[in-house]
Amino acid sequence: MTLTRFSGKTVVITGAGTGMGRAAAIRLSREGARCVLVGRRQAPLDEVAAEIVAQGGSTLAIACDIANAADVEAMMRQAAGENGRIAGLFANAGVLGMFKPLAETETADFEGLVSTNLLGTFLTIKHALPHLQGGAVVINASWTVNSVMPGAGAYAATKGALIAMMHTLAMEQGARNVRINSISPGIILTPMADEVLDPALSARLAAHAPLGRNGTPDDIAGTVAWLLSDDAGFVTGQDIAIDGGFTLGGPRL
- Residues annotated as catalytic (active site), given as ranges: 155
Q: Treating both helix axes as pointing N-terminal to C-terminal, what angle do 121-128 and 153-173 enclose, rounded to 10 degrees?
A: 20
Distances in Å between the Cα of 194 and the Cα atoms of 187, 189, 191, 201, 216 are 11, 7, 5, 11, 12
The 10 Å Cβ neighbour count of residue 38 is 32
Collapsed DSSP state (helix, strand, coil) of residue 85: coil
| CA–CA distance, 87 with 128 (Å, rounded to integer) | 10
233 Cβ neighbours under 8 A, 6+ residues apart? 179
| CA–CA distance, 70 with 198 (Å, rounded to integer) | 38
Any idea what DSSP says for residue 120? I
Question: Nearest CA to 173 among 241, 116, 94, 89?
Answer: 89
Three-state DSSP string of 19-64: HHHHHHHHHHHHCCCEEEEEECCHHHHHHHHHHHHHCCCEEEEEEC
| CA–CA distance, 146 with 42 (Å, rounded to integer) | 34
